[in-house]
Copies of this chain bind each other. A is one copy, B any other.
Amino acid sequence: MAGRPTLPAFIQGYGPVTPWDGVGPALGAPRKPRSGRTPRRSATLQDAIAASGLQDGGTVSFHHHLRNGDTLMVETLNTCARMGLRGLHIAPSSIFPCHAGLVPLIEDEIITRITTSYMNGPVADAVGAGRLATPAVLQTHGGRAAAIEDGRLAIDLAMIAAPAVDAAGNITGAIGRSACGPLGYAMVDAGHARHVIAATDMPDQDLPRVCIPSNRIDQIVKLDSLGEAGKIASGTTARQPGPEGDKIAAMTAALIDLTELRRPGFSFQTGAGATSIAVARKLAPLMAARGVCGDFACGGITGPLIEMHKAGLFHELRDVQAFDQIAVQSYARDPLHHGISASDYASPARSDAVAHQLGVVVLGAAEVDRGLNVNVTTTSDGRIIGGSGGHSDVAEGARMTIVTTSLLSKSGPKIMQDVLHRTTPGASIDAVVTEAGVTLISDGWQHAQKPLENAGVPTISRQKLFGDHGDMARSDWPDGRIVAVSEYRDGRIIDVIRAK
């Protein structure tokens, strides 16, 4: 009786043979737990961290859906410190002023590495002052997802703030005292981390929607609170822009109306700033007047986009993160309000990412230069105030990328010869709208010039915009040690931040 023949080492016409040997997948996908495993309930955060096997030098991820109300990151890392862990690498999707409690941990080298997509507040200031042992790494939201998915950013422990958990251990951000909408960033972390802990203050709920299924979660731990609910998703929709912002918003809406709104399958993303919200508000009646129902609005989702969806102006919403309570409540109730992962949203490795299907995005800028490079990472004098987040992702992905900015900020000009820090490269920018008018950048959009003029919308050439307003040369390039690097969405380094 002959047994199964062995495989040859080389097959003519095919090549060398890598035999399948049953030991886990080669491409890095975690082997799904089988046979009815459910997450273990752990009594305390410390127990859970101990059971995770986290060691000195390990990498711990967090997500920022609780924004400036999050208390889990500081609580977790203070617990790690008490447990004697040192040299940790933290990989939160963003860092806010509420995370000031990390600064002593940085100084004590409990935390020695930071990889994130955005940082603002005391931690950013500590990094800028060179107090972190290694240069911080700034990634885009999509770049972070790709790095996690392909193994460049390997997470030992993913900590997930879970606003509600059901009896089986599925989790959601749709409901709960700390409800924050879809857990888009945490979905990627949970999918790839070696160990996943979900912390919740609302266990054993019935969930209207599941963000992360129980089979991605190793332990669940109950805490008294995940954060300050009032600061989780602040109400942006009441904010009004000044007269200048209002004028910029009107010109931006007109530009969209005369170009992409006339194409089938319109889709749109904008931010939560006052000017962005004003653009959405001005776009709505134009869409209604034209009878346009766009395919989708995406990104961080705000109340005005919910209103547009309900009014039939967008077929669906693709939401990686809710920006306000109206969006949170819509996510809990509306099946066409889809929660998507950060990878679905913007991974550069996925040509089907939402960012790559996007029609129009309206983005802000701290500085814009003659090469159309945009800085949203630092102030002009070098203070770290943010990072790409999804800026570079959607700027590259969208068909029409519009940057709106005033010519001047309180601290000086925003249009200049060279931005201090290059967050998003100029090649991604299609138009800049300032109070001086609409500047059409790429050759492909010059056809919009005449319709804009006919509609009475002022236009200003790129040459004139930067000649009139952007002639200030920078002479004060910092030359201290490198305190942070900015990775473009594909992982290559687009700029660095140096201590002053």
Give the residue name and chain of the B residue nearest to A494 (CB).
B20
Which label, helix, strand, loop or mixed, suits the secondary structure of the A interface? loop
On whether the beta carbons of A5 and B479 are closer than 8 Å, the reply is yes
On whether the beta carbons of B187 and A430 are closer than 8 Å, the reply is no
Give the residue name and chain of the B residue nearest to A422 (CB).
B4
Contact of A4 among B28, B315, B356, B477 (CB under 8 A): B477
* Residue A411, interface by CB 8 Å: no
On whether the beta carbons of A348 and B11 are closer than 8 Å, the reply is no
Give the residue name and chain of the B residue nearest to A421 (CB).
B4
On whether the beta carbons of B29 and A348 are closer than 8 Å, the reply is yes
On whether the beta carbons of A7 and B496 are closer than 8 Å, the reply is yes
Contacting B at CB under 8 A, from A1-58, are 1-5, 7-8, 11-14, 17-22, 25-30, 32, 34-37
Contacting B at CB under 8 A, from A422-442, are 422, 425, 427, 430, 442
Q: How far is the CA of A329 from the CA of B355 in the complex (A)?
A: 29
On whether the beta carbons of B25 and A215 are closer than 8 Å, the reply is no
Contacting residues, chain B, for A343 (C-beta < 8 A): 350, 352
Contacting residues, chain B, for A443 (C-beta < 8 A): 35
A–B pairs, 7, beta carbons within 8 Å: A2-B477, A19-B493, A26-B492, A30-B351, A34-B399, A335-B336, A344-B352
A residues lining the B interface (CB < 8 Å): 1-5, 7-8, 11-14, 17-22, 25-30, 32, 34-37, 133-135, 137, 146, 149-150, 166-168, 170, 187-188, 191-192, 207, 210, 213-216, 259-260, 263-265, 295, 315-316, 335-336, 341, 343-344, 348-353, 356-357, 396-397, 399-400, 418, 422, 425, 427, 430, 442-445, 447, 473-475, 477, 479, 482, 485, 488-496
